[in-house]
Structure 1
Amino acid sequence: MTGICDGRVVVVTGAGRGLGRAHALAFAAEGAKVVVNDLGVGLDGAGTSSGPAQQVVDEITAAGGEAVAHGGDIATTHGASSLITAAVETFGRLDTLVNNAGFLRDRMLVNLDEDDWDAVMRVHLKGHFLPLKHAAAHWRAEAKAGHPVDGRVVNTSSGAGLLGSVGQGSYSAAKAGIIGLTLVAAAEMGRYGAQVNAIAPAARTRMTEQTFAETMAAPGEGQFDAMAPENVSPLVVWLGSVASAGVTGRVFEAEAGRITVMEGWREGPTADKGARWAPAEVGEAALKLLADAGPVRPVYGAGR
């Protein structure tokens, strides 16, 4: 197999199903050697199985590609470290890390248990941080040893992280945290030759199939399946390739055939007194600024 990732070694977390599976197959189709990480857990993170990761590996090898399964828990130091080691020991290098693993435990805030909050933060936010940390350490060592590094990291946020989502307080907070982590990593890891970006995908997966089943009919025969996870993967593959040189610290929305560069928090209307405000006068000033500002975008599920 040859393509824009020919010869690159790519690690994809949560690659046994859904978006991760689509990414792994797409990278392999473009010539990458792939480490397929997946714990094989249920939608809520319970249970484990080696089956999903191995099935993706079998698909890749059956098509003539190269892949290896990794079943470690990437939200632990050992699991994340062994993930990077698996790439280096199996294929001799690491070029691209795609952080994708996650699950849901949705509750309204008043019903959200502390354990469920911690579990979602652990898999999404810590499960991004630890592989990123160990990939960065590997690339730093390579750069210090005088070896050329052309690293790529693609993190997975969500529209819930950009706008919030009713009933998904923990998930929204974790996905927003991933954006902040992406910006910091992009600023820190450039010196090692690595670029870091994030995507906010919308696609039909185990986590979203109920939502899309309620809002969008399945495509007819021969029609474009707008919610297929495979629609997101081309952007991820490009970001993980050398073709994306110079692109870092960016967040992209990806859905169906549409990609959007998100511009994040930017300064809007401003008032500067040049001295400390009194509470009453700062309120008056703030109301004037809000009148000149754009409208607040509604949170998902809040009604429009």
Structure 2
Amino acid sequence: MSSVTALPIAAPVDSQPRFSIGRHPHHERLRHVTVRRDAVQTFLASVKHIEPQNLEYVPFMRFMLADALERAVGDGFACALRQLVRDRSTGGFTLGVQDATADDRDFVRFGTAVGYLLGPANHDAMSGTYYARFFVKDTDDSDSYLRQAYRLFTLHTDGTFVDEPTEWLLMMKFAEENAVGGESRFLHIDDWAERDAFLDDPFGTRPFLYKAPGSKNVEAQVERHVFFQSEHGLSMSFIDQFVQPRSTAEAIYLHNLSASMEAAPATREVPLPVGDLVVLNNYFWLHGRAPFQKHPDLHRELMRQRGVFAQ
């Protein structure tokens, strides 16, 4: 029986820690993980022969990248990332390539490795593979706020309209030009002062119907509770664009819930540099995006992955 050979990794040149974890400068709950630039370079050199198409077609290759990154950075790295995302007091981190590359193929490799240290990504029906890359530009004719630059992208969780769990979310910035505004917006549900008023409402634990627009390539309709209990504690599932109220009473509850989150003082804007990614626990973090200032040559490209924790 043949076995998969681990990707070659050069031995560390010293015994110094190759990563560190600090508080994020723009959010007291988030952490910023810094990986030494030489460790990022070691990882990228070891996987440069693996093309994104190979990752798209062969799922086990994504785990091979994760293994290569863990060995390049050193013992404890994967465990630390998993603990950060599972820990309810934090539940998220940012991490970057340290200017070791500007190649979007390397960004795919690095983002894939980080995601698969947590666990397998879900199939993204919008792109047809395990990740999606999309642009935000001056003009857009899409059927959701995802690519509409000048609208507030309201706070939400991912995976509301699919019939599989979505425990973690990863977003990585590939490129950005002529962009003012557009900061990521985050709200941890434990910091939302009015949360319990909506939790205790009868609608808080009743199922709501979700249906995605055509661009998502998901035809099935699913029902989800706004609040529910999971292994991560009190959890939430909500997005204003795709929930389908069946009565005026449901619509009023959903409207007020969204308005409360948007007005919450704990909702913070967090910048994300090119080459950096953010990972959030999708069960207790809500995310959105501030509007951009109008510019005819606005350009931003992002990669999204979302998945479940490894068993």
Q: Which has the higher relative contact order, 1 or 2, with Cα contacts under 8 A spaced 6 or more apart?
A: 2
Q: Which of the pair is proportionally richer in helix? A: 1
TM-score by length of 2: 0.28
TM-score by length of 1: 0.28
